[in-house]
Homo-oligomer: A and B are copies of this chain.
Amino acid sequence: MSHDVPSPAEDESVAELDYTDPLYREAVVDLLGALAYGEMQAFFRLAADASMAPDNYHRSEIAEMAVAEFGHFRLLRDRLIQLGHDPEEAMTPFVEAIDGFHASTAPADWLEGLVKAYVGDGVASDFYRDVAQYLDPETRELVVTVCSDLGHSKFCIESIRQAIKADPVVAGRLALWGRRLVGEAIAQSQRVAAQREPLVALVLGGAGPDLGAITRMFADMTDRHSERMRSLGLAP
């Protein structure tokens, strides 16, 4: 699967999308609401997890990631307002799933926090890149802007590799942790998917609420997650 985002000219069906289609509008507002709440919570969770950093240098690096997430929240919220929607209302349907994800994946220590930051950044990048191709040009531009600002987690890689080198035993624990993170993310996403048909159709590129297509999307996300785990020196 290519990770490139096609330009509107390459895909005529995209150019036809507009907000007068009530189902498309509902799906886009859902998407922006889910992403906005996800980014806001990423800000707060990263800021909280930074307290476990071994020094102020690492603490400030995690804070940099948190600040970037807040910038994304701002863009998404402002877009909702521009479209005439109340951001609070648009975010509400996703609060339970996103809070549930974080409640069940609170890092026990600094290394788990680093892996969560790295894995979360990667999965978010994949998702933004995938969904961008199915959006109208304006929403696509916003999503691509946010996506191009992701990837602040590169500093995590070196720290995690060093920790594994210093104590190879942690590799097993972190590999397990990585699987748990993706497992919980998929569980919560499936919960949302069961309740938001137009959003699912949008994310799948117009396909109906097809269980097979959803499962394939998660399988593809998991494959790319596994690649990232390997790049950290962890068994996927």
- Which of A60, A73, A88: most chain B CB closer than 10 A? A60
With A43-B47, A56-B87, A56-B88 given, is the CB distance from A70 to B63 under 8 Å?
yes
- Contact between A40 and B63, CB atoms less than 8 A apart: yes
On chain B, the residues within 8 Å of A50 by CB distance are 44
A182 to chain B, nearest CB (A): 26
On chain B, the residues within 8 Å of A57 by CB distance are 87-88
In whole angstroms, what is the CA distance A55 to B92 when docked?
11
In whole angstroms, what is the CA distance A44 to B66 when docked?
10
Q: Which of A13-57 contact B (CB under 8 A)?
A: 37, 40, 43-44, 47-48, 50-51, 55-57
- Contact between A77 and B60, CB atoms less than 8 A apart: yes
In whole angstroms, what is the CA distance A143 to B73 when docked?
29
Among candidates B44, B59, B73, residue contacting A40 with C-beta atoms closer than 8 Å: B59
On chain B, the residues within 8 Å of A66 by CB distance are 47
- Contact between A63 and B88, CB atoms less than 8 A apart: no
Binary interface encoding of chain A residues 126-139 relative to chain B, with 1 for a CB under 8 A from any of its CBs, else 0? 00000000000000
A106 to chain B, nearest CB (A): 13
A92 to chain B, nearest CB (A): 9
In whole angstroms, what is the CA distance A67 to B44 when docked?
11
> Within 8 Å of chain B (Cβ to Cβ): is A214?
no
Identity of the chain B residue whose Cβ is nearest the Cβ of A68 in the assembled complex: B67
On chain B, the residues within 8 Å of A87 by CB distance are 56-57
On chain B, the residues within 8 Å of A64 by CB distance are 70
On chain B, the residues within 8 Å of A37 by CB distance are 56
> Within 8 Å of chain B (Cβ to Cβ): is A91?
yes
Ranked nearest first, the 10 interchain pairs of A and B with the lowest CB-CB distance are A47-B47, A67-B70, A67-B67, A56-B88, A63-B70, A44-B47, A43-B63, A56-B91, A57-B88, A48-B48
Using a CB–CB cutoff of 8 Å, the interface residues on chain A facing chain B are 37, 40, 43-44, 47-48, 50-51, 55-57, 59-60, 63-64, 66-67, 70-71, 73, 77, 87-88, 91
